Amino acid sequence: MFKKIPGRENIKRELKNMVSENRIPHAIMFLGPEGNGALALAFAFAQYLLCNQKEEGDACGVCRHCRRIQSHTHPDVHYTFPVISRKGMNGISPEFYEEWRNLLAKYPYPSINHWMDVLGAENKQFNINKNECQQIVRQLSLKSVEAPYKIQIIWLPEYLGKEGNRLLKMMEEPPADTLFFLVAQNTEHILNTIISRCQIMHIPSFTDEEIKAFAINQWQLSENNAQSIALLAEGNMSVAYNMLSDQADELTPIFVKWMRLAFQDRDGKLVELVNEMAQLGRERQKQLLSLGLRLLRMMLLSRMTGSQPEGVEESVAVFVQKMAAFIDYEGLSQLVELMDACFYAVERNANPKILFLDVSFKINGILRGVKA
């Protein structure tokens, strides 16, 4: 439902006007950065369209259509998303619907990393394949089961690649009352012929105030805690969810251990840890570095304002405070630049063992060369 999504009032108003003015495009691309709520908006718009008891500018949330959409079981709302290859499977989205529902129940604002974790897909390639495109064409060629529209939601069409050509005719001349909602982050990886068939809706990142208010209302956090999460999330609601779960995530102690061993490795454990990090897989390595960047920014904030870190477990907060007291602003800034460069190298398939060992030596140099 629209009311469950923080902010985005202009976008919600535009979507509702499309319905009231009977000018619904047959294909809409919700475009913007990760964690911007675009997928939630696509779900809310689908629910609004199918709800037969709309009230106060939103879906009712209780009718048959609403209940089915909210549980992601509506027979006329179809989902396509990147999947992995599994033995004995065709690699089509319906084979993964149970995991998909689990993802959305845990992460209403999911990222590809969340999806990877749910599938246990480390070191595996995601894509949207030929079989999926053929499945889309077949199911949209049938009559709707119970709703006035058939709606096809495609999350991350970037993973279609050249297979998107198989959808061009269907998107150009869809069957009556058939709608496509594409939720994308980067048009550079989408065929221009797909883009040209869509009306683009640009969905910006959330503001700090929107994330703060959401954190207070949804998670019952204190104002200071919510403010800390909002500042560090940098407009990405997926990251905000990560920050709440980091205390139970094995990546946090790995990063803390890395910093400590990079500074002082008395027992020769650094190489062992580097080997462990190299085995994480590229996407997990990127998560580790993203987490590290958030903790470093938390240190910068603590250094500049003297505030105590919030939104993390006590042991991590103690680590952040100690690091912030030990390293000056210049040193922390150098570590942020180093982690950014490391992230860039991981994205480009650098050898992880060589990379993390080299970065460890550079961390050591920064830590030992900086005066408190």
Query: Mean pLDDT across the stretch 216-220?
Result: 82
Predicted local confidence at residue 248, as pLDDT:
41
Closest CA to 166 of 131, 126, 125, 192: 131
Whether residues 291 and 182 fall in one domain: no
Whether residues 64 and 158 fall in one domain: yes
Both tokens assigned to 284 = 């997990």
More confident residue, 247 or 132: 132
pLDDT > 90? residue 39: yes
pLDDT > 90? residue 241: no
Query: Mean pLDDT across the stretch 318-325?
Result: 84
Share of the chain above pLDDT 70, in %: 94
Whether residues 291 and 196 fall in one domain: no
Q: Which domain holds residue 359?
A: 249-368
For the four alpha carbons of 15, 17, 18 and 22, in that order, the dihedral sign comes to: positive
Cα–Cα distance measured from residue 333 to residue 302, given in angstroms and rounded to the nearest whole number: 13
Given 202, 233, 259, the domain boundary residue is: 202
Whether residues 167 and 58 fall in one domain: yes
Query: Mean pLDDT across the stretch 297-320?
Result: 74
Closest CA to 81 of 193, 184, 166: 184
Whether residues 154 and 278 fall in one domain: no
Predicted local confidence at residue 247, as pLDDT:
41
CA quadruple 260, 266, 270, 273: dihedral, nearest 10 = -80
Whether residues 279 and 351 fall in one domain: yes
Domain count, the chain: 2
pLDDT digits (tens, 9 = 90+) for 12-32: 999 999 998 999 999 999 999
Predicted local confidence at residue 309, as pLDDT:
62
Query: Mean pLDDT across the stretch 76-84?
Result: 93
217 found inside a domain: no
Predicted local confidence at residue 90, as pLDDT:
84
Cα–Cα distance measured from residue 10 to residue 41, given in angstroms and rounded to the nearest whole number: 12
Predicted local confidence at residue 122, as pLDDT:
67
Predicted local confidence at residue 325, as pLDDT:
83
pLDDT digits (tens, 9 = 90+) for 330-365: 888 999 999 999 998 998 889 999 999 999 999 999
Predicted local confidence at residue 123, as pLDDT:
64
222 found inside a domain: no
Q: How many residues does the chain have?
A: 372
pLDDT > 50? residue 371: no
208 found inside a domain: no
Which of these ranges, 149-153, 284-288, 300-304, has the smallest mean pLDDT?
Answer: 300-304
pLDDT > 70? residue 180: yes
Q: What is the CATH number of the domain that holds 298?
A: 1.20.272.10
Predicted local confidence at residue 228, as pLDDT:
74
Query: Mean pLDDT across the stretch 288-305?
Result: 83
- Contacts of residues 140-147 at CB distance under 8 Å and 24 or more positions apart, as own/partner, are 140/78, 140/170, 140/174, 140/175, 140/178, 141/175, 144/76, 144/177, 145/75, 145/76, 146/64, 146/65, 146/75, 146/76, 147/50, 147/65, 147/74, 147/75, 147/76, 147/77
pLDDT > 80? residue 242: no
pLDDT digits (tens, 9 = 90+) for 85-110: 888 888 899 999 999 999 998 888 99
Strand 77-80 vs strand 150-155: parallel, antiparallel, or unpaired? parallel
Predicted local confidence at residue 310, as pLDDT:
59
Average pLDDT of the chain, as a whole number? 87
More confident residue, 283 or 179: 179
Predicted local confidence at residue 372, as pLDDT:
41
More confident residue, 68 or 123: 68
- Provide the pLDDT confidence category of residue 246 given band limits of 50, 70 and 90: low
DSSP label of 175: P
Whether residues 61 and 183 fall in one domain: yes
